[in-house]
C-alpha cells in the first residue's frame, strides 16, 4: 500500500450522549457528543470533553451544540463538524500528516427513517469516509456482548442510551421484532430537573440533574443492596433566587423517574407480545440483555426481572457494548449482509 493511499478503518458509535471511536478492536476515543462553535466565525472551538465544559455555561460568542437528539442527528452541520473534529483529534494524536481515506461503520437507531439514515451516511462521507456502512444499534450491542447473531436462536437486547431505548429480538442475522422509543437516559435527567422545580422550587441545569441521576438514581423505591447515600446539591430558589441546599435521596429520584421507566416497560411488553413463540421460548431461557448507560441505573435489572419474570442481565461494560459490536462489524463487512450501505 502506498504512502498516500493509506486507509484507516474506524467503527463509530455516534451516540446522543457519547461518541466512541474504535480502531483495531480498541477504543481510541470516547468523548461527549458536544461541539462548540464561535458564533462570529462559525469555526469549531472545541469538541468532546472540552466543549462539554462550555455547555450551558452561557457565553457571548460561544455556542455549544449537542448535534444528536433522541438518537438521531438533529443538527446536520454540527454533527458533521463534530465527527470531522473527532477524527482529526485521532490523527493529531498519531502525528499523522495526511488524512487517510476512511472505511467507516457507524451505528444508527433501529427506528431510523430513510432520511435519518442518509443523514448519518452523508456525515460519514463528509468527514472523509470513502466506504461508509451502517449497523442498527441493538444488532451492534448483541455482537458487542459476544452473542452469535447469525445463530438460529432468539436473543433480546434492551439498549437504554441517552436519547433512545432500543429493544430488539435478534435471530438468524436479522432483527425479528423491534421497538425504538425516544425515552432513555436524557428523559430521566429531564424528569429530575422538573421534579426539583416542582417539589423544591429550585432550578438546576442538565449537568447537575445528570449528576443526581448517576449518584442517587434508582429504578426502585427500596434498594436492599448498594443503596447510595444522600446527595447534596445547590440550586437557585425560584422565588427569591437565593442559593438553596437540597439533600436528595434515591427513593425520591425513583419516584420522579418512575413514569419514564413505565414507558420503557410498556415498550418491552409490546416487543415481547410481537415476538414469535419459538423465539420467545429462547428469550425466556437465555434471559434479556440490558446495555447502554441506562443499564447502570440502580435496581433496574431487578425491577425488570420481577416485572416480566424473565432474567434481565447486565453484561460487563454495558456502556461500550454498541461500540464494540460496531468494531466487530467493521472486520466483517464482507459477511455481515445485514449492514446497510
Ligand X SMILES: Nc1ncnc2c1ncn2[C@@H]1O[C@H](COP(=O)(O)OP(=O)(O)OP(=O)(O)O)[C@@H](O)[C@H]1O
8 A C-beta contact, residue 180 and residue 164: yes
CB nearer to Mg ion: pick between 128 and 325: 325
Q: How far is the CB of 19 from ligand X (least distance, A)?
A: 7
Q: How far is the CB of 161 from Mg ion (least distance, A)?
A: 3
Q: Which does 62 bind (CB under 5 to 8 A by kind): ligand X, Mg ion, none?
A: none
Q: Mask of contacts with Mg ion, 13-52, x by CB under 5 A?
A: --x-------------------------------------
Q: Which of residues 136-195 bind Mg ion (CB under 5 A)?
A: 161
Q: Which does 31 bind (CB under 5 to 8 A by kind): ligand X, Mg ion, none?
A: none
Size (the chain), residues = 341
Alpha carbon 153 to chain centroid, angstroms: 26
Does residue 133 sit in helix, strand or coil? Answer: strand
CB nearer to ligand X: pick between 141 and 279: 141
Closest residue to Mg ion using C-beta atoms: 161
> H or E stretch including 186?
helix 185-200
Q: How far is the CB of 182 from Mg ion (least distance, A)?
A: 13
CB nearer to ligand X: pick between 73 and 279: 73
* Cα 279 from Cα 170, distance rounded (Å): 9
Q: Which does 48 bind (CB under 5 to 8 A by kind): ligand X, Mg ion, none?
A: none
- Cell numbers at residue 93, please? 494524536
Q: Which does 183 bind (CB under 5 to 8 A by kind): ligand X, Mg ion, none?
A: none
How are strands ordered across the β-sheet holding 174-181?
A: 174-181, 165-171, 155-160, 288-291, 312-313
Q: Which does 71 bind (CB under 5 to 8 A by kind): ligand X, Mg ion, none?
A: ligand X
Residue numbers at the binding site for ligand X (CB under 6 A): 15-18, 71, 161-164, 184-186, 210, 213-214, 217, 292-294, 296-297, 319
Task: State the virtual CA torsion across 43, 118, 172, 155 in degrees, nearest 10.
Answer: 50
* Cα 137 from Cα 15, distance rounded (Å): 10
Q: Mask of contacts with Mg ion, 241-260, x by CB under 5 A?
A: --------------------
* Cα 279 from Cα 289, distance rounded (Å): 15
* Cα 50 from Cα 300, distance rounded (Å): 31
Q: What is the CA radius of gyration of the chain?
A: 21
> Residue 37 pairs with which residues in a beta bridge?
44, 63
Cα dist. 35→12, 46, 49, 84, 86 in Å?
17, 6, 9, 11, 10
Q: How far is the CB of 247 from ligand X (least distance, A)?
A: 19
Q: Which does 164 bind (CB under 5 to 8 A by kind): ligand X, Mg ion, none?
A: ligand X
Q: Which does 85 bind (CB under 5 to 8 A by kind): ligand X, Mg ion, none?
A: none
- Among the candidate windows 110-118, 194-202, 235-243, 315-323, which touches Mg ion by CB under 5 A? 315-323
CB nearer to ligand X: pick between 83 and 279: 83
* Cα 43 from Cα 85, distance rounded (Å): 11
Q: How far is the CB of 19 from Mg ion (least distance, A)?
A: 10
Look-up of cell digits 420503557: 264
Q: Which does 18 bind (CB under 5 to 8 A by kind): Mg ion, ligand X, none?
A: ligand X
Site of interaction with Mg ion (CB under 5 A): 15, 161, 322
Amino acid at each position: 500500500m502506498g504512502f498516500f493511499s493509506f486507509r484507516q478503518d474506524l467503527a463509530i458509535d455516534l451516540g446522543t450522549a457519547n461518541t466512541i471511536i474504535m480502531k483495531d478492536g480498541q477504543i481510541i476515543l470516547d468523548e461527549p457528543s458536544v461541539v462548540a462553535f464561535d458564533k462570529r466565525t462559525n469555526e469549531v472551538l472545541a469538541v468532546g470533553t472540552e466543549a462539554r465544559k462550555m455547555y450551558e455555561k452561557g457565553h457571548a460568542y460561544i455556542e455549544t451544540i449537542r448535534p444528536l437528539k433522541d438518537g438521531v442527528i438533529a443538527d446536520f452541520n454540527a454533527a458533521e463538524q463534530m465527527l470531522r473534529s473527532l477524527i482529526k483529534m485521532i490523527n493529531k494524536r498519531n502525528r499523522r500528516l495526511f488524512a487517510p481515506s476512511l472505511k467507516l461503520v457507524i451505528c444508527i437507531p433501529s427506528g431510523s427513517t430513510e432520511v435519518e439514515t442518509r443523514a448519518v451516511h452523508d456525515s460519514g462521507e463528509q468527514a472523509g469516509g470513502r466506504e461508509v456502512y451502517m449497523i442498527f444499534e441493538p444488532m451492534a450491542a448483541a455482537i458487542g456482548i459476544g452473542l452469535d447473531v447469525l445463530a438460529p436462536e432468539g436473543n433480546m437486547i434492551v439498549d437504554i442510551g441517552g436519547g433512545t431505548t432500543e429493544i430488539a429480538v435478534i435471530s438468524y442475522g436479522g432483527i425479528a421484532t423491534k421497538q425504538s422509543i425516544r425515552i432513555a437516559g436524557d428523559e430521566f435527567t429531564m424528569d429530575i430537573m422538573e421534579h426539583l422545580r416542582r417539589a423544591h422550587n429550585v432550578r438546576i441545569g442538565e449537568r447537575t440533574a445528570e449528576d443526581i441521576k448517576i449518584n442517587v438514581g434508582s429504578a426502585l423505591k427500596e434498594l436492599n443492596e448498594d443503596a447510595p447515600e444522600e446527595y447534596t446539591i445547590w440550586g437557585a430558589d425560584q422565588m427569591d433566587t437565593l442559593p438553596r441546599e437540597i439533600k436528595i435521596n434515591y427513593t425520591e429520584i425513583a419516584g420522579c423517574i418512575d413514569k419514564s421507566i413505565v414507558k420503557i416497560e410498556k415498550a418491552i411488553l409490546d416487543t415481547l407480545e410481537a415476538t414469535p413463540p419459538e423465539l420467545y421460548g429462547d428469550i425466556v431461557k437465555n434471559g434479556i440483555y440490558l446495555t447502554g448507560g441506562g443499564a447502570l441505573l440502580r435496581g433496574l435489572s431487578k425491577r425488570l426481572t420481577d416485572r416480566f419474570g424473565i432474567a434481565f442481565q447486565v453484561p460487563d461494560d454495558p456502556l461500550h457494548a454498541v461500540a464494540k459490536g460496531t468494531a466487530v462489524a467493521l472486520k466483517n463487512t464482507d459477511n455481515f449482509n445485514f449492514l446497510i450501505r
